[in-house]
């Protein structure tokens, strides 16, 4: 069985000897293993990054951008290979894997604009014979810790932008599906990235803690569950590091009586059951305004959920693949059990699904609950699986209060034809990413991604303009060259332009 290794100083290397199994969730069997880094491995990556940083920070931004242009071409040329690697280890459909990679490539395209993104500001004669300007300077060695559900896209949210800003980056991807992440990093090296500027270290909590504790690591970006996000933010922040830690979600879709119901239903199907619900932007709660809306949604959603095409992710033409692990499948099944026990109406039951030819795979069908209340665990907690809950309310105001009261504030959307209602919703909802008739309002690469409340720990969102701010520190220089013949007296009052 082959072993997925680390990328350190431009070389693929095995060091620790400690491994974990990597499964193909469609067949429920391990297909390879991955080495888990120890602290010595992490330190080797840090040392490599420190050595590469002085030359890389002084490389002109235009030359850094040229590496990213070549990287983009290589990603596009290897699109099908990367998608197959993602699908084999994660389980998502090939079409979904291609879509994930494309959104990652868009972030590489944004990073190609480094010369423009890093331009500072300049003022001549800010004072008598005084010029002043600001500069965006890199932090040094920075790190990213990324989740299993987007092994291509989320790393590409982080290191292309960090690297074009002049930093050296250490990536700790999920050990559940590491192959595509490592391969993509190798493509960046092939594009001409100097050795040591990017390292990929596979590992578990030992690797995470080593990055948190290393004084050489100046910033950490994280995407994952809220408990881990809070842990990383607290521990890294306590050590003086800059941190952006994106956590969990419970995303609501509000459906008003005037919504285009057929289009709404199709949108909800993709947003709730795409990628088997393993998305931090997945819609997991529909807030139906009025019983008539709820009844209509249930009637139209039910046959579509029952007709979902579910099978091995590496097959084409499917709607859903398996969940990533057997433990993930069992956890989601446990939520369905709890919903029934707590009194919700289970309209469609996805438990017990068997895919012919893939009986050992980690499959679960789509489930739909109606009459869900806010005290139920299926409403309160992030399920991260193909389960959709319908909550019934009497007004838009009641729907908004329900969303604003929830501890998470990652994404939300409203389906309506009423511009006034949509504007009120956008203005007053306490959520970081909002869609109007758009179920998955994931910002494009030249905006920034991030939630509110317990969906984000830190002040800056991921990628886009906030990404530039996160991976750089601003320096302001004030310079004066007095005229040769001038002789000026000492000034003891605080300087000003008055």
Nearest-5° Cα angle at 480, 477 to 482? 175
Separation CA 364–CA 105 (nearest Å): 31
Separation CA 267–CA 438 (nearest Å): 8
Radius of gyration from C-alpha coordinates of the chain = 25
Q: Could you tell me how many helices (H) and strands (E) the chain has, helices first? A: 16, 23
* Phi/psi at 114 (5° precision): -50, -45
CA dihedral (340, 415, 247, 457) positive or negative: negative
CA distances in angstroms from 362 to 28, 211, 309, 324, 434, listed in the order given: 6, 32, 15, 7, 32
3-state secondary structure 265-278: HHHHHHHHHHHHHC
Separation CA 367–CA 158 (nearest Å): 34
3-state helix, strand, coil in the chain (%, to 5): 40, 25, 35
Neighbouring C-alpha atoms within 13 Å toward the C-beta of 468:
21
- List beta partners, residue 195: none
Per the document, the length of the chain is 498
Separation CA 113–CA 108 (nearest Å): 9
3-state DSSP call for residue 14? coil
Alpha helix (H) ranges present in 274-363? 291-306, 326-341
3-state DSSP call for residue 470? helix
- Kind plus residue range of the DSSP H or E element containing 162: helix 153-164
Which positions are annotated as active-site residues?
280
Tokens of 426: 């956008």
Nearest-5° Cα angle at 378, 365 to 348? 35
């Amino acid at each position: 069985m082959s072993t997925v290794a680390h990328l350190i100083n431009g070389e693929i290397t095995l060091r620790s000897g400690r491994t974990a199994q990597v499964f193909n969730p469609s067949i429920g069997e391990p297909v390879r293993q991955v080495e888990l880094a120890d602290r010595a491995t992490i330190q080797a990556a840090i040392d490599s990054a420190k050595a590469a940083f002085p030359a890389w920070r002084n490389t002109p931004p235009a030359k850094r951008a040229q590496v990213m242009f070549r990287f983009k071409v290589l990603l596009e040329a290897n699109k099908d290979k990367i998608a197959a690697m993602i699908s084999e280890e994660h389980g998502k459909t090939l079409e979904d894997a291609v879509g994930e990679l494309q959104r990652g490539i868009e972030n590489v395209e944004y990073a190609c604009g480094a010369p423009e993104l890093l331009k500072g500001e300049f003022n001549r004669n800010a004072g008598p014979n005084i010029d002043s300007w600001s500069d965006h300077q890199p932090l040094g060695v920075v790190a990213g810790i990324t989740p299993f559900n987007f092994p291509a896209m989320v790393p590409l949210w982080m290191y292309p932008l960090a690297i074009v800003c002049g930093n050296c980056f250490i990536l700790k991807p999920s050990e559940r599906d590491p192959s595509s992440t490592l391969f993509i990093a190798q493509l960046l090296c092939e594009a001409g990235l100097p050795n040591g500027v990017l390292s990929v270290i596979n590992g578990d909590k030992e690797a995470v803690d080593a990055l948190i504790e290393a004084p050489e690591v100046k910033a950490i970006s994280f995407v994952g569950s809220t408990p881990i996000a809070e842990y990383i933010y607290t521990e890294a922040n306590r050590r003086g590091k800059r941190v952006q830690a994106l956590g969990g979600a419970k995303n609501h879709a509000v459906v008003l009586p005037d919504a285009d119901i057929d289009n709404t239903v199709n949108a909800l199907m993709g947003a709730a059951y795409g990628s088997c619900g393993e998305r931090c932007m997945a819609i997991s709660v529909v807030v139906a305004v009025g019983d008539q809306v709820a009844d209509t949604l249930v009637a139209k959603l039910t046959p579509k959920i029952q007709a979902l095409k579910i099978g091995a992710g590496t097959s084409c033409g499917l709607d859903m693949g398996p969940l990533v692990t057997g433990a993930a499948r069992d956890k989601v099944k446990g939520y369905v059990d709890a919903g029934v026990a707590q009194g919700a109406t289970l309209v469609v039951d996805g438990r017990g699904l068997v895919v012919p030819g893939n009986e050992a795979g980690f499959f679960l069908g789509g489930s739909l609950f109606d009459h869900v209340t806010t005290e139920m665990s299926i409403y309160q907690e992030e399920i991260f699986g193909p389960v959709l809950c319908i909550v019934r309310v009497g007004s838009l105001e009641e729907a908004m209060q329900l969303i604003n009261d929830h501890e998470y504030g990652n994404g939300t959307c409203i389906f309506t034809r009423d511009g006034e209602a949509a504007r009120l919703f956008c203005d007053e909802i306490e959520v970081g990413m909002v869609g109007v008739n758009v179920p998955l309002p994931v910002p494009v690469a030249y905006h920034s991604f991030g939630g509110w409340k317990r969906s984000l720990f830190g002040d800056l969102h991921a990628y886009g303009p906030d990404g530039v701010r996160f991976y750089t520190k601003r320096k302001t220089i004030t310079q004066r060259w007095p005229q040769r013949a001038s002789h000026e007296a000492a000034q003891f009052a605080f300087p000003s332009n008055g």
